[in-house]
Protein backbone atom coordinates (compact mmCIF):
# COMPACT_ATOMS: atom_id res chain seq x y z
CA UNK A 1 0.00 0.00 0.00
CA UNK A 2 2.76 2.48 0.87
CA UNK A 3 4.44 2.29 -2.56
CA UNK A 4 1.08 3.11 -4.16
CA UNK A 5 0.57 6.09 -1.82
CA UNK A 6 4.04 7.36 -2.64
CA UNK A 7 3.50 6.92 -6.39
CA UNK A 8 0.25 8.89 -6.27
CA UNK A 9 1.83 11.63 -4.15
CA UNK A 10 4.85 11.88 -6.50
CA UNK A 11 2.56 12.28 -9.54
CA UNK A 12 0.24 14.83 -7.93
CA UNK A 13 0.23 18.43 -9.14
CA UNK A 14 -1.62 21.46 -7.83
CA UNK A 15 -1.99 23.52 -4.70
CA UNK A 16 -3.84 20.83 -2.69
CA UNK A 17 -3.52 17.08 -2.34
CA UNK A 18 -5.82 14.58 -0.61
CA UNK A 19 -5.59 10.82 -0.31
CA UNK A 20 -8.98 9.14 -0.37
CA UNK A 21 -10.04 5.51 -0.56
CA UNK A 22 -12.90 4.28 -2.72
CA UNK A 23 -14.89 3.30 0.35
CA UNK A 24 -14.54 6.63 2.20
CA UNK A 25 -17.71 8.55 3.03
CA UNK A 26 -17.62 12.24 3.89
CA UNK A 27 -19.95 14.87 5.19
CA UNK A 28 -21.14 17.15 2.34
CA UNK A 29 -18.80 20.01 3.39
CA UNK A 30 -15.80 17.83 4.34
CA UNK A 31 -13.38 19.18 1.72
CA UNK A 32 -14.59 22.77 2.00
CA UNK A 33 -14.20 22.68 5.80
CA UNK A 34 -10.69 21.24 5.52
CA UNK A 35 -9.51 23.83 3.02
CA UNK A 36 -10.99 26.62 5.14
CA UNK A 37 -9.08 25.36 8.20
CA UNK A 38 -5.85 25.20 6.20
CA UNK A 39 -6.36 28.81 5.09
CA UNK A 40 -7.22 29.97 8.63
CA UNK A 41 -3.85 28.94 10.11
CA UNK A 42 -0.76 29.78 8.05
CA UNK A 43 1.27 27.30 10.13
CA UNK A 44 -1.05 24.43 9.19
CA UNK A 45 0.17 22.46 6.17
CA UNK A 46 -1.65 19.17 6.62
CA UNK A 47 -4.84 17.93 8.17
CA UNK A 48 -6.16 14.63 9.47
CA UNK A 49 -9.67 15.04 10.89
CA UNK A 50 -11.61 12.93 13.32
CA UNK A 51 -13.04 9.84 11.62
CA UNK A 52 -15.27 6.87 12.33
CA UNK A 53 -15.12 3.27 11.15
CA UNK A 54 -18.57 1.96 10.32
CA UNK A 55 -19.79 -1.56 9.71
CA UNK A 56 -22.04 -2.80 6.89
CA UNK A 57 -25.09 -1.78 8.96
CA UNK A 58 -23.84 1.83 9.18
CA UNK A 59 -23.03 1.51 12.91
CA UNK A 60 -19.92 3.24 14.25
CA UNK A 61 -17.57 0.51 15.49
CA UNK A 62 -14.49 2.64 16.19
CA UNK A 63 -13.83 6.36 16.49
CA UNK A 64 -10.49 8.02 15.77
CA UNK A 65 -9.81 11.50 17.11
CA UNK A 66 -8.13 14.07 14.89
CA UNK A 67 -4.45 13.25 14.38
CA UNK A 68 -2.40 15.84 16.26
CA UNK A 69 1.05 14.20 16.20
CA UNK A 70 1.81 15.51 12.73
CA UNK A 71 5.12 17.39 12.87
CA UNK A 72 5.67 20.18 10.38
CA UNK A 73 9.17 21.08 9.23
CA UNK A 74 10.56 22.90 6.21
CA UNK A 75 10.49 19.60 4.28
CA UNK A 76 6.77 18.92 3.83
CA UNK A 77 7.43 15.87 1.65
CA UNK A 78 9.42 14.20 4.44
CA UNK A 79 6.77 15.21 6.98
CA UNK A 80 4.06 13.42 5.00
CA UNK A 81 6.20 10.35 4.35
CA UNK A 82 7.07 10.20 8.07
CA UNK A 83 3.33 10.30 8.88
CA UNK A 84 2.62 7.45 6.45
CA UNK A 85 5.30 5.22 7.94
CA UNK A 86 4.03 5.68 11.52
CA UNK A 87 2.60 2.52 13.07
CA UNK A 88 -1.10 2.04 12.32
CA UNK A 89 -2.54 3.89 15.31
CA UNK A 90 -5.30 6.45 15.43
CA UNK A 91 -6.24 5.63 11.86
CA UNK A 92 -3.28 7.09 10.00
pLDDT tens by residue, 31-85: 998 899 888 887 777 777 778 888 889 899 988 776 655 666 778 788 777 777 7
What phi and psi values does residue 78 have, to the nearest 5 degrees?
A: -65, -35
Tell me the pTM. 0.58
pLDDT at position 22, please? 80
- Count CB-CB contacts under 10 A for residue 34: 16
Contacts of 85 (CB under 8 A, 6+ apart): 2
Segment 6-27 shows an average pLDDT of: 86
* Cα–Cα distance for residue pair 79/4, rounded to 1 Å: 17
What residue segments make up the domains of the chain, in order of their start? Answer: 2-84
Amino acid sequence: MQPNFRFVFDKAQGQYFMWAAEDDRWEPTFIETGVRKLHKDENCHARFPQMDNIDSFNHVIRNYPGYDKFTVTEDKRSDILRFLTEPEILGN
